[in-house]
Amino acid sequence: MVVINLDPYPSPRPRFTRQGRAYMPSEYTAWKKSFLKEWLKQGHVKFEPGVALDVIITFYIRPPVSISKVKKNQNLLKAETWRVVKKPDLDNLEKSVLDALNGNAWDDDNQISDLSSRKRYSLNPRVEISIREDGSGQDEISSVKMTKSDIEILKSATNIVDFWNACAEFYSDEELAWAWLHPELVERK
């Protein structure tokens, strides 16, 4: 897990010049540069292109004074369990982190196959990010051999549920999913 000791910053909407060219506000680009600088300072290497990635991000946001000064709230704030249900929006916070790391932690953020995030109040604002290769077994199956009748069912099925129900008795879930996604590569037994 990587800890970046910066206040989380949501990705804003682009602004436009009078000529119609889009640009991002300077505060946002400065935050992204600071985030990337902290990331690189910790010596993280770039993941290989084409590798599926699982990313988990936790945003710890400074609470408003109205919350942080109340004595009964101190334990929740110290435990960092108080969920933030106000702005900034979680998807905008995610976008700012993913944009900052694009081209540096990974080739392109289209490599991210799984993404989960959360936002909590904390007296110690920061962003915690965990990235790992998602070895979910997608390369384990390289071919599936099916009987002629099962191949016919595959070709005639209008949805995966019909196909699954007809063939689940003889094949694993992984084989059925692979066959549905790659029907042209299914071999005959």
* Residue of 180, 94, 102 lying closest to 144 (CA atoms): 180
Task: Determine the pLDDT at residue 135.
Answer: 65
Domain count, the chain: 2
pLDDT in tens, 31-45: 999 999 999 998 887
Q: Whole-angstrom Cα distance, residue 69 to residue 108?
A: 42
CA torsion angle for 113, 114, 120, 124 (degrees, to 10)? -60
Q: Does residue 140 fall inside a structural domain? A: no
Report the predicted TM-score, pTM, of the whole model to 2 decimal places.
0.68
Q: Tell whether 27 and 57 lie within a shared domain.
A: yes
Residue range of the domain that includes 179: 145-188
Model pLDDT, residue 174: 77
* Mean of the per-residue pLDDT values of the chain: 86
Residue 6's pLDDT band, with cuts at 50, 70 and 90, is: very high
Residues 120 and 153 in one domain: no
* Weakest-pLDDT range from 46-50, 111-115, 119-123, 135-139: 135-139
For 83-101, how does the pLDDT look when each residue is reduced to its tens digit (9 = 90+)? Answer: 899 999 999 999 999 999 9
Asked if residues 111 and 47 have their Cβ atoms less than 8 Å apart, the reply is yes
Asked if residue 65 and residue 21 are part of one domain, the reply reads yes
Can you tell me whether residue 49 is helix, strand or coil? coil
